[in-house]
Structures are given as C-alpha cells and as structure tokens.
Amino acid sequence: MLCFPRAWEAGFGAGPRLWAGPGRGRGPGPAGCERGEQGRHGIRSAGRWLVSAMAPRCWRWWYWTAWPRTRPPPAGCTLSVRQQFSTQEQMPQICVVGSGPAGFYTAQHLLKHHPRAHVDIFEKQLVPFGLVRFGVAPDHPEVKNVINTFTQTAHSDRCAFHGNVVVGRDVTVPELREAYHAVVLSYGAEDHQALGIPGEELPGVFSARAFVGWYNGLPENRELAPDLSCDTAVILGQGNVALDVARILLTPPEHLEKTDITEAALGVLRQSRVKTVWIVGRRGPLQVAFTIKELREMIQLPGTRPILDPADFLGLQDRIKEVPRPRKRLTELLLRTATEKPGAEEAARQASASRTWGLRFFRSPQQVLPSPDGRQVAGIRLAVTRLEGVGDTTRAVPTGDVEDLPCGLVLSSVGYKSRPIDHSVPFDPKLGVIPNMEGRVVDVPGVRPVSFSDWEKLDAEEVSRGQGTGKPREKLLDPQEMLRLLGR
C-alpha cells in the first residue's frame, strides 16, 4: 500500500511523500511483497502507519462539487476536481485506490480510528474485492467469507465505493491529491514476472496469474482458452499459487460444480486430458514457498497420488532440527510423503488414482521447447542446479547439466509485479514497484462510476444464475453485459 499525504500538512515537509506497506492479500502489490501471512500483517501495519501520521493534523474539508461525499454521482455526470474547503470542519477525506483486501482493510482501520473520516474507494473493475474474488481458489470458499466484513464497511455512510473508474485514465493521481487529504495506492500487482527464456511466447505457455484469472472470472482473462488436451502440464514455481493451479487442474470436475468457478472454465476442465502435473522449483525442499495447508490438500486430493524423489531429501532430517516450527512441520510432511510407506488404506487409494502430481527440485527453466511444426509447446528444458550459501542467502546455481521434460502446457508461477498507475507517480520498471521510503513516496469527462449498490445488483444476478446448478454464484464475465444489467 502506498499513500500520498497532502503537501501542506504538518509533518511532511515541503512536498508530498508516499507511504508503502507490504500487505495485499493473495498477491503482491506495489511494494512487492509476496502473498500469505506477511501480507495480512502488512495490511494492518500500513494502516497503523497511515493513522499515526494523520492523527495529530488539523484537517480541512475538501470535496468534489460534482461528487457528493455520501453517494455516487448521478448517471451521466462527469468528474470534477474543483475543491472547496471549510475551516469549520475537520473531516479527513481519504481516497483508496483498489478495492482488494489491502484497500478494504485500510478503509476499515480509518473508519474505526477516525470517527469523522470519510473514505472513497476507487476500483477499475465493475465489481469489488480484488483478489478475494479473482485470486482465491473456488474450492476455498471459507477464505472468501471476509467479503461479508468488507460489505459492512462499504455500507458505512462514511465510505463510498466507486467501481469502473480507472485511475490514470478517468482521473489522474494529481487530481485525486488535490481533492483529498491523502491518497492510498493499494491497486495490487496487475502483471506477472516473465521467465525471460526462449520459447516463452509459444502457444500453450501461460502465466499462472492469467490462468487463475481465467477460472475465477477476471474479465480480462475470460478469452484465455487454455488447451488441456495434453497428458502432462508443468508449473514453474513452488508457491501457494502453483499448488492452487495444480489442484484445480487435477481436481475431479464434479467436486468443483458447486463452487463459484466459472461455467466456461468448468466446461474446459471437464474435457481435460491432463493426467500428470509437475511443480518445478530452482531450489530444494527447505526453500519451498507453499504452506502446509496447501500441501496437505494436494496429498489428500481425490483420484491423485504424489511423486516425490527420496534422493531430494537425503540428510534433511538433521538439518530441519533448528528451523522455525512452521517450516519444520512442512518439511516433515514432505519427508514422510517421500520416504515412508503409506498405510493400507492410503496405499489402496493411491493405487486406484488415475492422476499424479510431483515436485521437481533443483531445476531451473532454460527454454520452452516447440513442437516439430513450431506451433505448440512440446516440452521444457531444465537446468539442473545445486545450492550455494546458507539460510536466507541460499541460491541455486547451474551445475552444467540439463534435462528435457515433455509437456503440452507450461504455467509460469514465479511472481507478480505492479504496473505504473499514472505518469505523475514514480515507478521502478525493473523491480515493478513504486519507489518509497518506509512506505512514503519521495476536468475528466465521461466517467460513470459503479456504486456499491450497483455491485449488489450484479451480485444478486450472479447468485440467481448459480442457483439453477446449485452453485453459490455464476460470475458475470463481460463488463458490457454488467453495464447493460445496470441500465447503462
């Protein structure tokens, strides 16, 4: 999360600064931290930094004359950034860009700790909730329950949601900074890290981010159309997203029918011929980035059996004695799965499995191999690696050996990065982040925002469409259809 306070406010010197916090739910955001527990703590930390810096200030009331504070503009109106202020009012007016977990947690914190604060949340999608809606796997509905809390926040008369507004196109960051006391950038990571290897552009190579967006109904990925007619898929990366993708590829489709996966994705998965999924990492078992919950789900996935090479775990038993408890428990589960003979019931289950998945350690992608006609991926060339260094400095270096792994689908899950939001905001294209120090950064016609009540109409339509098949919802995918349903 990143925040622009007003330039004239006490405590910030002569010019505006930017604050960044690492938190952002299921994926990295502008500050570049990865998903997981750290992200959730980071959200709280960012909110605390923001509040502690704003608390002692004397606020003035700024607002857009064409945009009333407690309701969205009427249909057909345009945004204006003329300011008015009253020295008799002391109401913090804060703008949050992005309605994912980081954005909503920030809004919650502000509304709770500043009884007079008003928060406007801007979102480029027509619908709210960001990665909770578009990133969380459809078979993890319990994680999405946080939407209920976010909905309560959006219903506050001191909070307004404005969907279908693209900051940087429909309204600029300088205009927002003129209209608000503070602007928080929590728009997340909208791009993936490229592999940077030959063959990456071949048909059959996708980013895990796009694949997740496809089965979760992200409008920009609805036309992805992955070809699942192959026998083997390779996922590059060993984080939770990689395991999510592997699990969705291998889960029996009937187990997904009552989830909110899109009907289009479910139809493709029903026809899938993928029987084997390899999850490849540059380093070893002690360096995997997934968590024990996701690993346990994979091990127990119906109709599948794991493939782990016991040689990858030699000497690991003694090395895990001093590692932190969560890492120790995770590695012990990997060890047991790789080296211990399963019990009779588990052995019978694995013997009847028609699909397999495996972890390939100490392998780094070198080249995506084409089919003979050059029109499709046929495999991937992997460099064999070894580890150098200890602890956090451990890195994988090539040994000089390579191996080719046949496959018909390659999914890259090696990280996310942000995109620049506005030409006025500094951006580091190499790191994919907005440069910051402790989180602080050293008339628009035709905009028709979508309100939260508009979202609730779309929500009701999705739920209604899902009831016929027993699903919690059937997600709307086409932004133009959404606008038509709203009478736009």
* DSSP annotation of 322: G
Cβ atoms of 297 and 246 within 8 Å: the answer is no
3-state secondary structure of 219: helix
Dihedral sign (CA 359, 362, 368, 371): negative
- Distance of alpha carbon 349 from alpha carbon 255, whole angstroms: 17
Q: Is 340 annotated as a binding residue?
A: no
- CB distance 320 to 331 below 8 Å: yes
For 342-361, letters b (16+ CB in 10 Å) and e give eeeeeeebeeebebbbebbb
Edge-to-edge strand list for the sheet holding 363-370: 363-370, 377-388, 395-406
For residues 107 and 101, give the distance between their C-alpha atoms in angstroms, rounded to a whole number.
10
Q: 267 labelled as ligand-binding? A: no
State both tokens at 287: 């360096």
Is 212 annotated as contributing to ligand binding?
A: no
Instruction: Determine phi and psi for 272, rounding to 5 degrees.
Output: -65, 140
How far is 460 from 286, CA to CA, in rounded Å? 45
125 is in an annotated binding site: no
Tell whether residue 294 is among the known ligand binding residues. yes
Determine the straight-line distance between the first and last CA of the chain, rounded to whole angstroms: 32
133 vs 144: CA distance, rounded Å? 7
Residue 362's CB: how many other CB atoms inside 10 A? 20
- Please, which residues have CB within 8 angstroms of residue 168's CB and are 6 or more apart in sequence? 420, 421, 422, 423
102 is in an annotated binding site: yes
Of 392, 336, 394, 390, the closest CA to residue 362 belongs to 394
416, containing H or E segment? strand 416-417
- Say how many CA atoms lie within 13 Å of 8 toward its Cβ: 7
H helix or E strand, kind and range, residue 84: strand 83-84
Residue 237 is assigned to a ligand binding site? no
User: In angstroms, how far is CA 108 from the centroid of its own chain?
Assistant: 20
Structure tokens at 296: 């346990």
Does residue 247 contact residue 297 with C-beta atoms inside 8 Å? yes
On whether 238 is known to bind a ligand per the annotation, the reply is yes
Residue 35 marked ligand-binding: no
Residue 123 labeled ligand binder: yes
Dihedral sign (CA 325, 330, 334, 339): positive
Annotated binding site for NADP(+): 238-241, 282-283, 294, 408
Annotated binding site for FAD: 102, 123, 131, 167
Annotated binding site: 102, 123, 131, 167, 238-241, 282-283, 294, 408
